[in-house]
């Protein structure tokens, strides 16, 4: 400002009238006069901007709360009473609400409801509606952006989240890698891992520590670690030694990443509300931990793939089958290794611990299963017999317990799809592009309309009476492994692992809740059924455990 004043003084003419005029101009430009005016101007601009922002937000709220729902082509579909929309802006309905709607809202396979930010969803409630979604038009519906980004950042871009032609190409190679003959060869690997787990649990149970007294154990990490070790050997010819809990090991790191805690679930909730891209940029401990672990996991996957590519093709594992198919680039192979470390372990391990939870609460069923195991397998050493696969597969109560665990306590509560086809329909109802559709294996597998009045009761007996369908009236009432071309590629692998785990863990130990008078079969008090993730047991859950010495 001083230089500006100087320039005016320098150029001022001598005429007195001009001097008066120029002095007046100088007074208008003086800092003491100009700054308050600039302040008033900036305040006015900020005020107008704030008012405009508030009006825009108000307009947006009015649109999403009142106008958009009235314009929807789905407005004629049956809907639940979710209260005043304003109170539900930050709420995503969970499985308890969806299950209640199935019971109370008459519908023809579709229910319309609203989730976060009052965004519309369609809930496919019937087996026929899910058949339209998964079997008749499997590539007309894809995973929504939120689920894709979360999965991609935790498990990498692998088979379960691929779409369209890319999925078809990858699926063809995986069909060979997971065929029945190859999976049948996994029994020795699985049983070796399971027997190591039994030793680990026996050791933990005998110890009296600050976190637990003797006779108690937490099997969450042990089962997950054994699953990682088994897949490492069978799928990648790489022993990860996760049960050994070595520092900086990929097995231990991945288990740390995939454990379920209240803090972790809160982070997922934030990601859903503000968007995954923004959430992943926040300085949250969970985000930093995830990035650090994924860096280690990805580097290990790089090493495993490079080792397979530079050696001869003599390895007989999943990865070598993928390499031999010539369908994958180096990066795609790395992505699939990272992806299947979670996909081939986490859901199966979760189902196993839920099964142990259920059997700990139903001691009569547990005793009956143990008696069958001991009858067919006199001691744990007999698990190494050559014909053990046939023995396990023909044990009726063991397989009934496994099927009922998968039915009653599906890990998948709510699954999501988004329409990408202009010609898609569900139950003859046109689904516009962009529409989000949910379906629930949990709800369908516990629906009395299809499973009878005891649908929400844990009852393995139903599979002894009807080993094929368990008494359900529709083949798509059981969706634990999905349906159609996207049906879980690891279904047989998962069932084999569950046979091995249940036979060893129930044969070797007696299980009971810490407090038998508390809790429930559903287990909401020990797990988290968040609407965007698997229904998993929270870290820290413990059981009473007693060795069956005569079998060990």
In this structure, what token pair is assigned to residue 66?
A: 């009142």
Instruction: Say if residue 500 carries a ligand binding annotation.
Output: no
> In the numeric block, which tokens belong to residue 366?
């547990």
147/412 Cα distance (integer angstroms): 13
Please answer whether residues 172 and 478 qualify as being in contact, where contact means their C-beta atoms are separated by less than 8 angstroms.
no
Cα separation, 498 vs 113, whole angstroms: 36
- Of 101, 143, 113, nearest to 416 (Cα)? 143
Compute the distance between CA of residue 413 and CA of residue 456 in angstroms, rounded to an integer: 14
Backbone dihedral angles phi then psi of residue 209, each to the nearest 5 degrees? -120, 175
Q: Can you tell me the distance from the alpha carbon of 514 to that of 219, in angstroms, rounded to the nearest whole number?
A: 13
* Long-range residue pairs from 79-88, CB within 8 A, at least 24 positions apart, any chain: 79/105, 79/111, 79/112, 79/113, 80/104, 80/105, 80/111, 80/113, 82/113, 82/114, 85/114, 85/118, 86/61, 88/114, 88/118
492 CB-contact burial (10 Å; exposed 0-12 / middle 13-18 / buried 19+): middle
Q: Residue 117: CB partners within 8 Å, gap ≥ 6?
A: 64, 89
CA distance 327 to 237: 20
Binding-site positions for heme read 488
Feature table: binding site: 488
């Amino acid at each position: 400002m001083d230089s500006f004043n100087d320039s005016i003084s320098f150029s001022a003419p001598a005429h007195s009238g001009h001097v008066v005029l120029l002095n007046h101009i100088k007074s208008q430009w003086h800092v003491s006069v100009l700054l308050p005016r600039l302040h008033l101007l900036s305040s006015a601009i900020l005020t107008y901007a704030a008012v405009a922002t508030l009006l825009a937000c108000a307009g947006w709220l009015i649109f999403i709360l009142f106008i958009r729902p009235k314009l929807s082509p789905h407005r004629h579909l049956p809907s639940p009473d979710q209260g005043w929309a304003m109170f539900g802006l930050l709420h995503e309905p969970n499985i308890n609400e969806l299950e209640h709607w199935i019971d109370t809202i008459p519908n023809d396979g579709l229910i319309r409801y609203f989730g976060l930010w009052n965004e519309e969803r369609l809930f496919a409630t019937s087996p026929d509606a899910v058949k339209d979604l998964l079997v008749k038009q499997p590539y007309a519906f894809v995973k929504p952006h939120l689920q894709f980004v979360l999965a991609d950042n935790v498990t990498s871009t692998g088979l379960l989240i691929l779409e369209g032609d890319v999925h078809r190409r990858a699926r063809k190679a995986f069909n060979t890698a997971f065929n029945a003959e190859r999976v049948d060869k996994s029994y020795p690997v699985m049983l070796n891992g399971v027997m190591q787990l039994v030793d680990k649990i026996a050791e933990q149970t005998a110890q009296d520590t600050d976190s637990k007294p003797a006779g108690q154990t937490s099997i969450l990490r042990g089962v997950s670690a054994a699953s990682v070790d088994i897949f490492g050997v069978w799928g990648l010819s790489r022993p990860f030694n996760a049960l050994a809990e070595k520092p900086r090991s990929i097995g231990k790191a991945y288990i740390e990443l995939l454990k379920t805690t209240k803090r972790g679930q809160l982070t997922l909730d934030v990601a859903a509300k503000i968007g995954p891209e923004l959430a992943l940029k926040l300085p949250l401990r969970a985000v930093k931990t995830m990035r650090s672990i994924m860096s280690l996991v990805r580097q290990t996957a790089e090493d495993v793939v490079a080792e397979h590519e530079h050696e001869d093709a003599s390895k007989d594992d999943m990865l070598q089958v993928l390499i031999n198919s010539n369908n994958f680039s180096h990066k795609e192979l790395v992505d699939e290794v990272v992806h299947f470390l979670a996909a081939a372990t986490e859901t199966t391990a979760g189902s196993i611990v839920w099964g142990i939870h259920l059997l700990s609460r139903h001691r009569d069923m547990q005793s009956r299963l143990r008696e069958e195991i001991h009858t067919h397998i006199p001691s744990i050493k007999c698990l190494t017999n050559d014909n053990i696969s046939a023995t396990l597969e023909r044990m009726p109560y063991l397989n009934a317990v496994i099927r009922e665990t998968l039915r009653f306590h599906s890990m998948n509560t709510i699954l999501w799809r988004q329409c990408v086809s202009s010609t898609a329909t569900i139950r003859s109802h046109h689904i516009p592009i962009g529409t989000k559709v949910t379906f629930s294996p949990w709800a369908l597998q516990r629906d009395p309309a299809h499973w009878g009045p005891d649908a929400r009761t844990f009852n393995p007996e139903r599979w002894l009476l009807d080993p094929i369908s368990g008494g359900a009236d529709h083949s798509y009432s059981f969706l634990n492994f999905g349906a159609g071309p996207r049906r879980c590629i690891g279904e047989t692998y998962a069932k084999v692992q569950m046979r091995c785990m249940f036979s060893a863990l129930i044969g070797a130990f007696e299980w009971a809740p810490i407090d038998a008078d508390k809790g429930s079969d559903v287990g909401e008090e020990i797990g988290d059924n968040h609407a965007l993730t698997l229904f998993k047991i929270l870290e820290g859950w413990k059981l009473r455990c007693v060795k069956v010495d005569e079998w060990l």
